[in-house]
Amino acid sequence: MIEQHYGDISINDALLSSLESLLTGHTLPEQAERLVLNCRQMSYYRHRQGLHPIEIQLKRESISEPWLIVFFASFSYPNDNSTSVEPELYFHLANRWF
C-alpha cells in the first residue's frame, strides 16, 4: 500500500506498518492522489511541552500504484517569544533531501 524504499532510503518497518494501519482504517476516495496527515498534540501549543506537531504527505500516480511518502516535517516554536510554530526538521523523501 505504501512504498517502503526510495533508492537507498528505507522507511522503518514499524512506522510503515503504523501508517498502513491508519490508512486501511479509513475509506479513501479512489481518485485521491494526495494525502496530508497532520498529527498534533494540543499540550504542545498550550504549554510548549510534549510531542512536536508533524506533517506527513503521501501521493500516488494512480489507484493501481502504491502511496509514496513525499515528506515528513516536524514543527516547533523557534524561540520562547514566538507565537507560531515553524518547520524544524523537513525530510523530503521524494527529492532525497532534508
User: What would the pLDDT profile of 12-27 be if each residue is shown by its tens digit?
Assistant: 999 999 999 988 888 8
Total-model pTM: 0.84
Domains and CATH numbers, the chain: 5-92 (3.10.450.430)
Phi-psi region of 64 (alpha: psi -120 to 50; beta: other; left: phi over 0): alpha
pLDDT score recorded for residue 95: 84
What burial class does residue 60 get, using C-beta atoms within 10 Å of its C-beta: 0-12 exposed, 13-18 middle, 19+ buried? middle
Q: Is 56 helix (H, G, I), strand (E, B) or coil?
A: strand
Rounded CA separation 87/42 (Å):
17
Share of the chain above pLDDT 70, in %: 100
**Residue 46: in which H helix or E strand, if any?**
helix 42-47
Contact 9, 93 (CB under 8 A): yes
DSSP state of 48: S
pLDDT score recorded for residue 59: 95
pLDDT score recorded for residue 84: 94
pLDDT score recorded for residue 98: 87
Residues of the chain with pLDDT under 70: none
pLDDT score recorded for residue 96: 83
